[in-house]
């Protein structure tokens, strides 16, 4: 087993501080990509770059990215409800509530809802890169019904640390 230690202190005060950020469950989605509602529970900006945490509520129509990897972030997936197909770089698994997948930087991965039923999961990435911009662009493309050229997709992916395989 790898021995771990705590990182360097980030807070050096003596008494602590009131700095929590609360987001009620009643808050609506921050954006919609096709039939998927995306809730930005914690962004890199709101977590001081520590991590990003989204709730990904997928509708019944098939959705999700093709296999890809990131050079700068790890990603983790925790299924809350329904069935989400998770790809770990070796094969696909039909994951259900309580199932978890961690993918380090460079790890090929993907996720899809192909069940014909709604599904929900948490998506955690660390450190807290500005992924909101990437998903916002995808939402705009979907809402406008635009078709990007291969060169436009390549540019979008490169600007957002997304390397398709």
What's the pLDDT tens digit per position in 97-152?
999 999 999 999 999 999 999 999 999 999 999 999 999 999 999 999 999 999 99
- pLDDT, residue 36, reads 96
- pLDDT, residue 93, reads 98
- Is 109 within a domain? yes
- Is 88 within a domain? yes
- pLDDT, residue 26, reads 95
- pLDDT, residue 43, reads 95
Residue 2: pLDDT band (50, 70, 90) is confident
- Cβ atoms 105, 60 nearer than 8 A: no
pLDDT(23) > 90: yes
User: What's the total number of domains in the chain?
Assistant: 1
- Is 42 within a domain? yes
- Is 52 within a domain? yes
Q: What are phi and psi of 116, to 5 degrees?
A: 80, 0
- Is 8 within a domain? no
Structural domain boundaries enclosing 135 = 31-164
Q: What are phi and psi of 143, to 5 degrees?
A: -65, -35
- Is 130 within a domain? yes
- Is 39 within a domain? yes
Global confidence as pTM = 0.93
Q: What average pLDDT does this structure show over 89-95?
A: 98
CATH code, 101:
2.60.120.10
- Is 25 within a domain? no
Percent of the chain residues past pLDDT 70, beyond the cut: 100
pLDDT(1) > 90: no
Residue 66: pLDDT band (50, 70, 90) is very high
Q: Tell me how far apart the alpha carbons of residues 144 and 160 are, in angstroms, rounded to a whole number.
A: 20
Q: What are phi and psi of 17, to 5 degrees?
A: -150, 160
Residue 71: pLDDT band (50, 70, 90) is very high
- pLDDT, residue 138, reads 94
Q: What average pLDDT does this structure show over 39-48?
A: 95
Q: What are phi and psi of 141, to 5 degrees?
A: -60, -45
């Amino acid at each position: 087993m790898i021995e771990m230690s705590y990182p360097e202190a980030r807070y050096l005060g003596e008494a602590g501080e009131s700095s929590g950020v609360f987001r009620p469950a009643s808050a609506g989605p921050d954006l919609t990509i096709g039939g998927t509602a995306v809730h930005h529970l914690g962004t890199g900006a709101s977590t001081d770059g520590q991590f990003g945490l989204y709730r990904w509520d997928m509708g019944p129509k098939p959705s999700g990215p093709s296999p890809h990897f990131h050079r700068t972030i790890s990603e983790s997936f925790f299924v809350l409800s329904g069935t989400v197909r998770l790809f770990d770089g070796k094969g696909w698994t039909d994951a259900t509530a309580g199932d978890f997948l961690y993918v380090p930087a460079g790890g090929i991965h993907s996720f899809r809802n192909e069940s014909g039923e709604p599904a929900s999961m948490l998506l955690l990435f660390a450190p807290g890169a500005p992924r909101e911009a990437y998903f916002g662009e995808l939402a705009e493309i979907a809402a406008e019904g635009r078709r990007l050229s291969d060169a436009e997709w390549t540019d979008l992916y490169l600007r957002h640390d997304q390397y398709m395989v």
